[in-house]
Structure formats: structure tokens, C-alpha cells
Amino acid sequence: MVQPTGEERSFTAEEMFFSTTDDRGVIAEANTTFVRLSHYPWDTLIGAPHNIIRHPQMPGAAFRVMWATLQAGRPFAAYVHNLAADGSRYDVFAAITPLRTGGYLSVRSRPCRPDLLRQVDAVYQPVGEREQALRAAGASRVEAATQGAALLEDLLRQQGLGSYQDLQWILVPAEVTALDEAIGGIPARPDARGDLRAMLDEIRLVFDELGAWMADLDALSDSAERMADTVDHLDQAIRDSMETAQQIAAVTDLDAVWVPLMMPLHLWAAMGEEVGGVLTALIQDLHTARAGALDSRMQIALARMFTQMVGRFLVELIDGGPGTDRALPAIRSLCQALVERIDEMETRLAEHSRARAHARQQVEEAAGLLQIPVDLMDAWRAMAAGRTLPESIGTLVPRIEQQVGDSRQAMDRLRELVPRRSATEARRDSTGLRARVAAVAAATGGGDLPVG
């Protein structure tokens, strides 16, 4: 068994890793970067379980979450500390996706966002320590990883993330963008000729088009985040105002002259169920829209990362580097993964658009309901003008006025945000993009890509 030496190996952003495995995680394909930095020869890697490079520093929780995500048919991404055959450590940002034809494909790169790596390591550390303590107390590896996964989710929630999926929505676009900046795009080979030159030209065009999608999805995700934050603020402000109105309605020691003046506030307090129903539907729609936008951006970022890897393979073929006999099948696998990520992006983008369209209707209904407390407060002010408020409600009325005002401001902001449509929603046609990927895949000699 390989023991860590404490040595850490670095590598350049251009040195990207590639591998595929079967459904059990047994390595089927690899590239020269993987062979070189893992210090395992080809013959040892191919047919070995991928955890041959697992570093003991990595918490089992991360792999438990990974397998649960992949087996649910979704891609997974994480920072991973790997252990080479010589005992050295090398860190990667790993993106793994299930393939419709079976098995998994993984592309890894140098972590290009050290700030995010440090934040994730700060979560890994207590999770790993908990797992080690459990193992020392007699727990099995599976039991320790299960409890570690629960702690991992708790720690993420403490950082304001609902789940590991929320972390992925941050990590993948951030790392892919930083990788693109570090590498500077797919290299050109102007002196190349023939099929390889044509394939490289096509994949460079795919890379550029995916960049346009990424820019649009960045804007869409930002808008969706602001909508979700605004509706949460609106919900809290309305609930606070209704709670204050109920406190006022519960006051019983008022003089008779104040009883009719309290009717507007009693009415607002009584509308809780109706307002709550509309708000619940609106919140659900806007959070669904948020999830669709963020996941679409993650999918297209993964596609862009896979495109980078295709470009690296094509450059190796053109330059005649080692391992080129394995490049064409790998390119085909990557093209398959690329198309599947585009498919998933469009599915999630459609979910976003449906939720956003429904939210537009909900916003107008909610705005109509919110006009009621505004009108009621206006009526209250008119009736109570010139009167000194009783002590029992003296502090409550200014509070509800502020809360209703906050609600109205949030609603105005929401009405401004929700109707907007991004360039991505208008674009929506990936026909040309798919045709270019299919052309590259066909040039590998493997026939048409499978259609899911």
C-alpha cells in the first residue's frame, strides 16, 4: 500500500487529466497526463479501480456524495487530493459525468481558484477528523463516510449553502472560467492539414460558442439569484407585517373610539392564509427558476471543460506526442459527454423558463394583494390623523408601516426583475453547436453519437 511522503507535486493548467471508467469505477481509458502525474504505467492504470489514487487525507464523505450524485444520473464536481504511486500528492478539480451508454467520464484540471480550494479544505478537515475518530472507535468505512456526509451537509448549511449541489453551482463555473483564463483557449495549429486541422477548427468554434452561452447564463443566473433573494425578503417583510397586525388586533384595552379605527389592521391580520398561499407558490416558482438557471450554467461550464479536453487531445495528435493511439476513442467519449451536457442544459433551461413565466403571473396576483395593506395603512393614517396613539399600540403601528413599506419596495423590485428575458432564453437553438460536435465525433471513425 502506497504511503504519503508529504511531497506535493504541481503542474500547469494546460496539463488536463482524462479517464473513463465502467459502472464500478474501473478505469477503461486514460491520458498521458494521468499516467505521468499518477506515476502508474498504462498497464497498471487500465483495469484498476479509480480509487487506486485515493489519498487518505480525502474524507470518505466526498466519495459517498459523489456516488449518490452519479448514480442519480447527475454530474459531480469536487476538489480532490490524489496520491501518486511514489507517495506524492497532487490536487485536482475533478468533473465527473455519467454516460448514457454506461460508465463515467472524468476530466480533471489544476485547481485555478485557490480561494475556493481553501474554503472547501476547511470543510474537508473536520469531516475527515470525524471519520478518523469513528474508525478508531470501531465504525466501518461505510458507517464513517455516512456520518461524515451528514456533517459535510451541516457544515455547508452553516456557510449558507442548502446542499452540496449549491456548492457545485459555485465551483464549476468559477473553476472553468479561471481555467479558460489561465490557458487562454484552445491552441491553434495553423500549419496543420487534413482531418485533424478540420476537427481542431470545429472544436475551436464549439468552444467559442459555448463561451457565448456561458456569458448569457452568467447573466441569467445573476438575475435568478436576485429574484430568489428578493422574494425571500418580500416573504419575510409581509410575514413580519402580518405578525405585527395580529399583535395589534389582539389588543383589547382600547377605548371605544379606537375600535373602528382598528378595522383596517384587523382585516390585514385576517388575510394571512390567502397571502401565504400566493407567496408560497411564488417562492416555489422563483426558486425553481433559480435552480434551473444555476444548473444550466453548470452544465454548459462542464461542456466547455470537456471541449478544452478535446482540444488538448487534438493538439497532441497534430504534434505527434505519446499516447496518440488512444486519443481518437477518448475524443469520441468526450463528444458524447459534451452533447449530453448540452441536452441537460436545455432541459434545465426549459424548467427555468416555465417557472419564470408562471412566476410572472404570480407576481401580479401578489402585487394586487400587497396593495391591500398599502391602502389599509393609508386609510388608517387618514382616520388616525391628529390623534395620539394609545400606549398599547404606539410602538406597533410605526413598525407595521415600516414593514408594509419594505414589502412594497421588494414587490416593486420583483416586478422589475421577473419579466426580463435573457439573451439565453431568446437564443435557445443549439442545432449548429450539436452539428459541429457531431462532425468532430464522426471524424474519429466511430459513427454517429448515440442519442438518448
Tracing cell 478535446 back to the chain, one arrives at: 310
| pLDDT, position 446 | 64
User: Which grid coordinates are listed for 21?
Assistant: 471508467
User: Which grid coordinates are listed for 237?
Assistant: 417583510
Tracing cell 487534438 back to the chain, one arrives at: 314
| pLDDT, position 451 | 46
Name the E strands within 4-83.
Answer: 17-21, 27-30, 76-83
374, with CB counted inside 10 A (0-12, 13-18, 19+), is: middle
d(CA 452, CA 449): 10
Q: How far is CA 2 from the centre of its chain?
A: 35
d(CA 336, CA 451): 9
| pLDDT, position 450 | 52
Tracing cell 378595522 back to the chain, one arrives at: 263
Quick count: other Cβ atoms within 10 Å of Cβ 45?
19
d(CA 231, CA 132): 42
Nearest alpha-carbon partner for 299 in 174, 429, 179, 169: 169
93: enclosing H helix or E strand: strand 89-98
| Length of the chain counted residue by residue | 452
Q: How far is CA 15 from the centre of its chain?
A: 25
CA angle, corner 27, sides to 23 and 30, nearest 5? 130
98: enclosing H helix or E strand: strand 89-98
Nearest alpha-carbon partner for 286 in 413, 423, 164: 413
Nearest alpha-carbon partner for 112 in 313, 295, 305, 296: 305
Quick count: other Cβ atoms within 10 Å of Cβ 49?
12
List CB contacts of 392: < 8 A, sequence separation 6 or more: 251, 253, 254
d(CA 262, CA 275): 20
**In terms of C-beta distances under 8 Å and separation of at least 24 residues, what long-range contacts does 363-368 make, across chains too?**
363/282, 363/411, 363/414, 363/415, 363/418, 364/415, 365/278, 366/234, 366/275, 366/278, 366/279, 366/282, 366/411, 367/411, 367/415
From first to last of its 452 residues, the chain has per-residue pLDDT tens of 889 999 999 999 999 999 999 999 999 999 999 999 999 999 999 999 999 999 999 999 999 999 999 999 999 999 999 999 999 999 999 999 999 999 999 999 999 999 999 999 999 999 999 999 999 999 999 999 999 999 999 999 999 998 999 999 999 999 999 999 999 889 999 999 999 999 999 999 999 999 999 999 998 899 889 888 988 888 888 888 778 877 877 777 777 766 776 777 777 677 767 777 888 888 899 899 999 999 999 999 999 999 999 999 999 999 987 767 789 999 999 999 999 999 999 999 999 989 988 888 888 888 887 787 777 777 767 776 777 777 777 777 788 778 778 888 888 888 888 766 655 555 568 888 999 999 999 999 865 555 44
User: Positive or negative, the Cα torsion across 435, 441, 443, 446?
Assistant: negative
| pLDDT, position 372 | 78
User: Which grid coordinates are listed for 111?
Assistant: 485547481
Quick count: other Cβ atoms within 10 Å of Cβ 205?
14
